Amino acid sequence: MLACFLEAPRKVAVKDVTVPKLAPGDILVRMEASGICGTDLEKIEGQLGPGGILGHEVSGTIEKVADNITDYKPGERVVAHHHVPCYQCPDCSNGNYTLCNEFRKTNIDPCGFAEYFRVPQYNVARAAVIPLPPELSFEEGAMIEPTACCIRAIRRAHVQKSDNVLVVGLGPTGLTQIQLIRNTTTGRIIGSDIVDARLKLGKKLGADETVNALTEDVPSQVRKMAKDGVDLTVVSTGNEKALSQAFNSVRRGGRILLFGAPSQGASYQLNVSELFSRQITLLSSYSCVEAEMEEATRLVREKRIDLKSLISDHFKLRDAEKALEFAKTSKTAIKTILVP
């Protein structure tokens, strides 16, 4: 089968490898759609530390199950989650599942950019194989994981009914967050990005206003719409420069939610006296767990979240190298999906 690996920083290769063998409790899935995430691109650039497994936004059809598996059958359409917590340690007991020591050790094998991938028993036993409802396409299925990450993040930000919110960075996750926030607040939602196509889509999906950060000063534009600044800013890009926009756009007593993964070792100079006197709360949210994966599936099925509008480009798995380069450099791409 074909699978795409990160061989060295900035060097990916699609290779012919053997289909993974199943141990008791494992499930083999035939990949039908696999989303390219910003973190895959950052891994390739070496910005998230050395090495890394590519592809974690996956859907597919069960090809084979281990002999002792009775809850799943070949032919079933599923979404699989790569990272799974233990649900027993102190972090898990506090609801900080994504901080669990086991979480990042778990993964699908060999990766999500593969014709077939094995979901290990550890994940299967913790409900990380989720049935994909018939009304959802495989492509929407591949976007359940990033949507679930957004659900977890927005929940951590405790959006109130009348909150004015700024979302900085309108990639697939920023655009999903706008929709989730729209479902909660009647306040104003403002989106900022540097790509006009994304700003346009932001408005279609629920933003009241958008600001092009290349040509306009985001904080002063924000204050035209929310005089004292916004209650919440979601930073949906890893670019630490976005933090200045966030810091200068939020009102006294407001919140900043860090969502986009900054590169390894990235730092930011912060006016701590202002942080203190304006009583600003900094929050972050990393990844998601099965409960949010299920909630994401439900929201898409109930048509309360539109993922189809975010899917912009498709590439064959054998062209993964080209697809990754495209996702990195394209000015029009929103979500790029690999298909078999």
The binding site for Zn ion (CB under 5 A) comprises 37, 85-86, 89, 92, 100
Three state DSSP letters for the chain: CEEEEEEECCEEEEEECCCCCCCCCCEEEEEEEEECCHHHHHHHCCECECCCCCCCEEEEEEEEECCCCCCCCCCCEEEECCCCCCCCCHHHHCCCHHHCCCHHHCCCECCCCECEEEECHHHHCCCCEEECCCCCCHHHHHCHHHHHHHHHHHHHCCCCCCCCEEEECCCHHHHHHHHHHHCCCCCCEEEEECCHHHHHHHHHCCCCEEEECCCCCHHHHHHHHCCCCEEEEEECCCCCCHHHHHHHHEEEEEEEEECCCCCCCCCCCCCHHHHHHCCCEEEECCCCCHHHHHHHHHHHHCCCCCCHHHEEEEEEHHHHHHHHHHHHHCCCCCEEEEEC
The CB-of-59 to Zn ion minimum distance in angstroms stands at 14
The CB-of-93 to Zn ion minimum distance in angstroms stands at 8
The CB-of-98 to Zn ion minimum distance in angstroms stands at 10
The CB-of-86 to Zn ion minimum distance in angstroms stands at 4
Round to whole Å and give the CA distance between 295 and 184: 15
Cα angle value 269/282/210 (rounded, 5°): 85
The CB-of-67 to Zn ion minimum distance in angstroms stands at 29
* Torsion over CA: 179, 181, 182, 187 (sign): negative
The CB-of-149 to Zn ion minimum distance in angstroms stands at 7
Q: Of 162 and 264, which CB lies nearer to Zn ion in the complex structure?
A: 264
The CB-of-147 to Zn ion minimum distance in angstroms stands at 10
Round to whole Å and give the CA distance between 40 and 52: 8
Q: Of 38 and 191, which CB lies nearer to Zn ion in the complex structure?
A: 38
Round to whole Å and give the CA distance between 264 and 78: 33
C-beta separation of 335 from 47 below 8 A: no
Q: Of 37 and 257, which CB lies nearer to Zn ion in the complex structure?
A: 37
The CB-of-102 to Zn ion minimum distance in angstroms stands at 6
Q: Of 92 and 242, which CB lies nearer to Zn ion in the complex structure?
A: 92
Q: Of 22 and 296, which CB lies nearer to Zn ion in the complex structure?
A: 296
Which pair of structure tokens corresponds to residue 45?
């650039």
Q: Of 61 and 96, which CB lies nearer to Zn ion in the complex structure?
A: 96
Q: Of 164 and 173, which CB lies nearer to Zn ion in the complex structure?
A: 173
Q: Of 112 and 254, which CB lies nearer to Zn ion in the complex structure?
A: 112
Q: Of 60 and 219, which CB lies nearer to Zn ion in the complex structure?
A: 60
The CB-of-57 to Zn ion minimum distance in angstroms stands at 6
